[in-house]
Structure 1
């Protein structure tokens, strides 16, 4: 008689609290830190949930970043070639070639030099909010425009094009739009950047995209991919951290009061919000290049592996003293919100600058800021690769 095969559970996705990952992750970390799962795209793969194991997977060259993405129409097991310039889906040496060109453009020093520009954009958006009749949607009036203005300025993309690129990027990271809509959005975004590249080649500009064009090291197709990637990452992630971070602080009034009483807490507050909320909600996906043993399990070559950033950032072994609690005074410990290893977020310093400027000025300008709807009525982005809120009605 054939023994029954164990049931493979689906990757956890259901939250009971808008600021916490699914509760199943706590059990997985304690009992099954490496476990076989049915992943979001329906494939059977492995989920890694402990902090140290997540870091190990993301730095182990036996795990490739080059597998199909969520929403990709490539059939399971078929060869996958990332689009030109999409270096986050590449391994060395190709990944190294792109990363080397970009690292110097996102240094800590260069990003801090942008602080005055970011503060100017923040002040302008807050002035517009103050003139508006409340309630307003904080996403559309503040959280989305600020990073969009900044990344457009950095890349040399006209801000007037924001509706087009915001619409396309939203479809590209949607889990419900479907492969055809995802692909159409990707092609539209690349075509948009491609037009800009041709214009900058004809008339050089003093911005990151213009500098990359003039370097002569990338083809137009590669430039279109790099530009698309930077444009999406430069506004989607920070916009959602600003909006979700605002909602989270409003839900923790004692923490917010401490922050307002002592602005020197802002650096630590931003790190804690990044850790606590971890908006890359469904993890970093890798493919095993060979058989790898991890916690007694053999992950076969070709198997997809999801390193859960959200679960790793709630691991008590790394973040003692109740990791599920938001604590703006928590002693800093390196978190996984920006990933880890060679693919760690290139724009993380820019995101920090934007979050500090946006959150500090928002609560200073509107000390009575509050939700205009019950928290349970705020539409959350469960359907997107990048978590957050679809809209955040606020009043003051």
Structure 2
């Protein structure tokens, strides 16, 4: 057995997520890491081990029940990642409580409701591409700002029934939620501001009920036998608007970037040798939109791989690492190949906490990606790859900007 005591200090700015994954894997399938604030956790980058713990009861996401450092107050309000663990929604629930919360939220993400959004996704995409097409000749356009970001945020805002006046503030709040370089004071202020905005949304939908998800959850909270509390309702909305949009932003961003830097793969798509759904799945695998997800906690003493994990230890799900596990994907795990036979990945999680919005994210991608490449077939990057800074996060895996020449140089 190994019980490694020297942690790998994760870069809060996420400047080299994949390079960091390589260093973690060199430590073994389970490696000790240090998070912002000096908090230590076990990072799991082995896909088989990660699936095992994600699908069983021996690991929890509820810090109130299973994280002694949180229970004792050692994890204080000043910890910058507190919003990721302190919320009261299905993201941090365990066992029967998780099943209760997920059952309430699931009707908002049925196949019927998701499929019904496709015409709206197509219309929003077309409008965004029209706006991009107006870019003056010789100027570059930022596809993250002009397509990858606004499409998902508009879709999730309409799904949730967010009134127009709240959208700009919510966007700012979501961006800062994923920014793991914020100071404790900035993180706490953003957390409070986001809650205030979402309480406004709940109040608005109580007075102006519609067919949106917020109205549905408000009605359930008012009517069903074991409803969401007001705090659970607001925290659930925070989960949907943050996770429900950030994953798709990064999926679109990374998929566009991967094709612009790999002309052979782009040609294979254009010639029909690879399908767009295949491209989407490989982009999700190769550049997991969410690289690391805090946190889980050992419900009991565990042995993961060759590492002893004590009851109450924190665990970090390393999706970006597991998605490139050579034991699953072989010697080409670090190569982008949409024709890959094994489509298995953990980009949307696994087990009880598998993302309810995964079908919606996939739909947005298979609508928007072919549309932008068909509209601008000569599109090229307008900056060297090394000039595209990462978003400031070890959780979110995307670029700050994605400048392109829409009609070539």
Output the TM-score relative to the length of structure 2. 0.87
What is the CA–CA distance in structure 1 between the aligned matches of 2:201 and 2:7, rounded to whole Å? 46
2:191 is aligned with 1:193: no
Task: Say yes or no: does 1:245 pair with 2:255.
Answer: yes
Alpha-carbon distance in 2 for matches of 1:15, 1:188? 25
Q: How far did 1:113 drift?
A: 2.7
Structure 1 equivalent of residue 268 of structure 2: 258
Unaligned stretches of 5+ in structure 2? none
CA displacement 1:242-287 (0-9 Å, x = unmatched): 1122111111111011112218601111000000001212245211
Alpha-carbon offset, residue 319 of structure 1: 1.6
- Residue 391 of structure 1 deviates from its aligned partner by 1.2
Distance 1:6 1:185, change over 3 A: closer
Q: Which has the higher contact order (CA 8 A, sep 6+)?
A: 2
Once the two structures are superposed, the pairs formed by residues 258-297 of structure 1 within 5 Å of their partners are: 258-262=268-272, 265-297=275-307
- The answer to whether 1:96 aligns with 2:102 is no
Structure 1 Cα separation of the partners of residues 167 and 267 of structure 2:
35
Please report the TM-score for the alignment, with normalisation by the length of structure 1: 0.89
Q: Say which of 112, 117, 120 aligns to 1:117.
A: 120
User: For 2:329, what is the secondary structure of its paired residue?
Assistant: coil
Output the aligned Cα RMSD.
Answer: 2.8
CA offsets, 1:196-231, max 9 Å, x none? Answer: 211221232111110111122223332211112111
Q: Does 1:325 align with 2:335?
A: yes
- Quick check: 1:63 aligned with 2:59? yes
**2-side partners of 1:263 and 1:153: how far apart?**
35
3-state SS of the aligned residue for 2:398? coil
Can you list the C-alpha shifts for 1:105-129, whole angstroms capped at 9, x where unaligned? Answer: 2133432232121111100100010
Cα distance, 1:387 vs. partner?
1.2
Deviates more, 1:305-314 or 1:379-388: 379-388
Asked whether 1:53 is paired with 2:53, we answer no
Deviations 1:181-210 (A, max 9, x none): 112112111111111211221232111110
Q: Which moved more, 1:364-373 or 1:297-306?
A: 297-306
Q: Distance in 1 between matches of 2:108 and 2:382?
A: 40
Aligned mates of 1:55, 1:359 — CA distance in 2: 29
Number of residue pairs matched by the alignment? 387
Query: Which residue of structure 1 lines up, in the alignment, with residue 399 of structure 2?
Result: 389
Tell me if the contact between 1:136 and 1:393 (Cα under 8 Å) persists in the aligned partners.
yes
The DSSP-based 3-state class of the residue aligned with 1:204 is coil
- 8 Å CA contact 1:20, 1:277 repeated in 2: no
What is the rounded CA distance, in whole Å, between the counterparts of 2:198 and 2:394 in structure 1? Answer: 23
Task: Tell me the secondary structure at the aligned position of residue 8 of structure 2.
Answer: coil
Gaps of 5+ in 1: none
One of 142, 160, 163 as aligned partner of 1:158: 163
